[in-house]
Structure 1
Amino acid sequence: MKEIPITVIRSIELLGIVLVVFIFYVGADIIMPILLSFFISIMLLPVHRFLMSKKIPEILSIIISILLLALFLGGIIWFFSSQITKLINEFDQIKSNVNNHLNNLSHWIDNKFGISSKEQTKFINEQSNNVLNSLGKILGGAMGSFSSFIVFFGLLPIYIYLMLFYKNLFLKFIFMWFSPTDHEMVREGLKESETIIKSYLLGLIIQVTYMTILLGGLMIIFGIKHALLIGVIFAILNLIPYIGALFGNIIGVLLTLSSTQELSAVITVLIIISAVQFLDNNILMPRIVGSKVKINAFAAIFGVIVGGTIAGISGMFLALPLIAVLKIIFDRTKILKQWGVLLADERPKNNLMK
């Protein structure tokens, strides 16, 4: 039998990647809830297995696991709602602080660039009119996004329940794709994928917890208002690799500016966030999940950007664990090993061009 040229094989691989990305892009609204449910169900597996070991019926153990997850998420929602209520109660003070900062900024622009307050006001009014003209479209899109949001999270518990209930059926489906001689390799790959996903997601929960405590605690010590809210917002946004921290810093600065007229508080917040982030990136997080998810920075950033383009925030959040699972598959597939090398965080010692 004639051997297929290597160029044809590589072309098929590239076409396959393009096809998969296209399918994800077109069917993101369908695929992302399923994918997120899969990762969450992996996270709930230890709880489900523990309850089963205590002779609790399978259906009841699945329902209890989902209810525990709902309680955890409900606690986060309650915290946010209580903090936002405090912000609303301080609306008059926030408005006064914002007006003061805007006036100082206006005077600075006038002195630095010679643009009078009248010209600045005219420019702001023109931009405001543009925003108002497109407000109808924005609200229409927001209503569509809100309905998609409700459908997205409404489907999650159903998908999680079904994935846990039919897990053995899915495993049988996977094993039937391989010959019996390869079953041990498939079993090892599935176990490693489960371990990485659980370690990664559990590590993120631990990361959010200690970053909230560290940031919130330090800001409380230095007298920063809304310290816990800034801490938890930054900790959650920091889950989005590389990009989330930037938005977390911006929101932290804006919340601080709205709660005080002192710029020294903003500097304090930025210093605290930088110190905690340095501690997290270089000491804490590598010890928690760094040894499990070994993806190079280029692949991670590229994956986050592609995931965000395809499926928004959920795509950015799921990019790293998905890439880690793909690397496991690539490393165990003879014709796809080079893709696993491309994702790995191991630089060759020798220069092959010499």
Structure 2
Amino acid sequence: MTQLPLTVRRAIELMGLYFLGMIILVGKDIITPIVMAFFLAIMLLPIYRFFRKRKLPESLAIFLAVFSLIIIVGLLVWFFSSQISNLISDFPQIKANVQLHLNTLSKWIDAKTKLSTEKQAQLINEQNDKLLNYAAGILSGAASSVTGILIFLGLLPIYIFLLLYYKDILIRFIYYWFPKNQHSKVGEVITESEAIIKSYLIGLLIQISYITILLGGILLLIGIKHAILIGAIFAILNLIPYIGALFGNIIGVLLTISSSQEIWPIFAVLGTIAVVQFLDNNILMPRIVGSKVKINALITIIGVFVAGALAGVSGMFLSLPVIAVLKIVFDRTTEFKQWGLLLGDERNQASSMKWPLLKRAPKNAKTS
């Protein structure tokens, strides 16, 4: 059998990427919960194996593992509902604080420009009405999507249970796709993917916990209102690489402005977030997750935006573990090694490229 030319193979790969993106875009409501259930099922494997070692039946061990996840999710829902209810109860005070900040801004504009107070008041009232209408639109949209969220949350434990129950069939199905002389590589990919996914997801749970406690605790000691809610929101949004931290800062500032009549809490919140994020990025998270997930920053950012465009917010959360698994697969194949190189962060000291402009010399090379 003759091998296809290199250009034809590359064209087929690009066409495959295009059709894969279209499939995800069209079937995201079906694919996203299955992919999320797959990662959660892998994370629950240690709990399942713990119960199996205690000689429990397989179905009961799977049920207990899934039930433990349901309890954790229930506690998170209770926590956020209680925090949001406290925020809603402070709504009259929030409205007064926002009005005070707008009046301060109006005085500053009056001192710097010739805009009359009446025009400023009219402009502020118009913007205030637009803001309230926008908030009402968000709430109505969230209320209309409650059914979809409930269906998603209802299907998730069912998918997890069935994935764990039929895991042996799924693994055998993967092996049947490859000849026997490649089964050892397939086993390596499966084992390493499981290890990295468990390490990464458990590390993320630990990250959410210590960021919420550390950030919320410091803000609480400073005297910031809704400190724990700010810490929890930032911790969850921080799971989205790069852009999540930006939105976390914005929400933290908005919550602080609305709950205080002074300006200094804003700088306190921003400074505390910066310190906690520095500790997280440079000290805590590398020690927890380690250096197993070697994805370069460019691919991470592109992957987050592409996954968000294809599958929404859930796609952003899933982008990094999906890319990590793809890199493991690509690195162990001869046909797709170039894709594994593109996803990775292994920057060699010297390049083998033949063009002088693109070739990078070693650091210890002598310069004339």
What TM-score bracket applies, with the shorter chain setting the length?
over 0.9
Shift of 1:142: 4.5
Summarize the Cα distance change of 1:139–1:207 in structure 2 as closer, same or farther, 3 Å threshold. closer
Shift of 1:92: 2.5
1:144 deviates by 4.8
Q: Distance in 2 between matches of 1:264 and 1:123?
A: 26
Partner of 2:246: 246
Aligned to 1:120, the other structure's residue is in SS state: helix
Note if 1:21 corresponds to 2:21: yes
2:51 is matched with 51
The residue type equivalent to 1:333 in the other structure is T
Tell me which moved more, 16-25 or 77-86: 77-86
Q: Residue by residue, what CA displacement relative to the aligned partner does 1:151-181 show, whole Å, maximum 9, x if unpaired?
A: 2111101101100110001011101101111
Residues 218 and 272, structure 2, Cα contact 8 Å, conserved in 1: yes
Amino acid at match of 2:97: N
Question: What residue in structure 2 maps to residue 222 of structure 1?
Answer: 222
Paired AA for residue 212 in structure 2: T
Q: Give the SS at the match of 2:336.
A: helix
- With the length of structure 2 as denominator, give the TM-score of the two structures: 0.91
Which one-letter code corresponds to 2:288 in the other structure?
A: I
> For the structure 1 residues 246 and 69, does the alpha-carbon distance in structure 2 shift closer, same or farther, using more than 3 Å as the test?
same
- Distance apart, 1:123 and its partner CA: 3.7
Q: Tell me which residue corresponds to 2:359.
A: none
Task: Provide the C-alpha distance between the structure 1 equivalents of 2:268 and 2:137, rounded to a whole number of angstroms.
Answer: 39
Q: Which runs of 5 or more structure 1 residues have no equivalent in the other structure?
A: none
Q: 1:116 deviation in Å? A: 2.9
SS in 1 for 2:330: helix
8 Å CA contact 2:215–2:231 kept in 1: the answer is: yes
Equivalent in the alignment of 1:97: 97
Residues of 2 paired with 1:84 and 1:135: CA distance? 15
- After TM superposition, the structure 1 stretch with the greater mean CA deviation from structure 2, 324-333 or 96-105, is 96-105
Q: Judging changes above 3 Å, is the alpha-carbon distance between structure 1 residues 137 and 92 closer, same or farther for their aligned structure 2 residues?
A: closer
Q: Deviations over 1:88-135 (max 9, x none)?
A: 332232222111111112222232343334323434555677789999
Q: For the residues of structure 2 that align with 1:236 and 1:140, how far apart are their CA atoms? A: 23
Moved more, 215-224 or 15-24: 215-224
- AA matched with 1:45: L
* Cα root mean square deviation, aligned: 2.1
Residue in structure 2 matched with residue 281 of structure 1 by the alignment: 281
2:321 is aligned with 1:321? yes
Q: 1:133 to 1:215 in 2, by over 3 A?
A: closer
- One-letter code aligned to 1:224: I
- How far the C-alpha of 1:73 sits from its partner, in A, is 1.0
What is the aligned partner in structure 2 of residue 12 from structure 1?
12
Match of 2:346 in 1: 346
Change in Cα spacing, 1:8 to 1:277, as seen in structure 2 (3 Å) is same
**Within 5 Å, which residues of 2 pair with 1:127-138?**
none
Kindly report which structure 2 residues correspond to 1:1-354, keeping only aligned pairs within 5 A, or say none. Answer: 1-124=1-124, 142=142, 144-351=144-351, 352=353, 353-354=355-356
Task: Give me the identity figure in percent.
Answer: 57
Q: 1:159 to 1:339 in 2, by over 3 A?
A: same
Counterpart-to-counterpart distance in 1, 2:96 and 2:83: 20
1:259 Cα offset (Å): 1.6
How many Å separate the matches in 2 of 1:90 and 1:126? Answer: 23
- Contact 2:110–2:117 (Cα < 8 Å) also in 1: yes
The answer as to whether partners of 2:102 and 2:124 remain within 8 angstroms in 1 is no
Once the two structures are TM-superposed, the CA of residue 87 in structure 1 deviates from its matched residue by 1.8
Q: Quick check: which one's helix share is greater? A: 1
The 1:139/1:272 distance shift into structure 2, 3 A limit, reads closer
How far apart, CA to CA, are the structure 1 residues paired with 2:65 and 2:293? Answer: 26
The residue type equivalent to 1:220 in the other structure is L
| 1:71 partner letter | I
Quote how far apart the aligned CAs of 1:70 are: 0.9
Q: Which runs of 5+ in 2 are unaligned?
A: 357-368
Superposition deviation, residue 258 in structure 1: 1.6
Q: Which amino acid aligns with 2:119?
A: E
Rounded to whole Å, the distance in 1 between the matches of 2:118 and 2:290 is 54
Question: CA–CA distance in 2 between the matches of 1:133 and 1:207?
Answer: 36
| CA distance in structure 1 between the aligned counterparts of 2:255 and 2:134, rounded to whole angstroms | 26
**CA-to-aligned-CA distance 1:282-313 (integer Å, 9 cap, x gap):** 11112222411110000111100011111111
Give 1:69 shift: 0.6
Q: Distance in 2 between matches of 1:87 and 1:133?
A: 19
Q: Give the letter for the 1:318 counterpart.
A: L
CA distance in 1, matches of 2:93, 2:138: 29
The one-letter code sitting in structure 1 at the alignment partner of 2:272 is: I
Larger deviation: 337-346 or 96-105? 96-105
Counterpart-to-counterpart distance in 2, 1:89 and 1:21 = 44
Q: Which moved more, 1:90-99 or 1:177-186?
A: 90-99
* Aligned partner of residue 334 in structure 1, secondary structure: coil
Listed one character per residue, the Cα deviations across residues 214-263 of structure 1 (whole Å, up to 9, x for unaligned) are 11121122121211111111111111110111111111111111221111
> Could you tell me how far apart the structure 1 residues matched to 2:291 and 2:182 are?
27
So what's the TM-score if we normalise by structure 1? 0.94
Once the two structures are TM-superposed, the CA of residue 75 in structure 1 deviates from its matched residue by 1.1
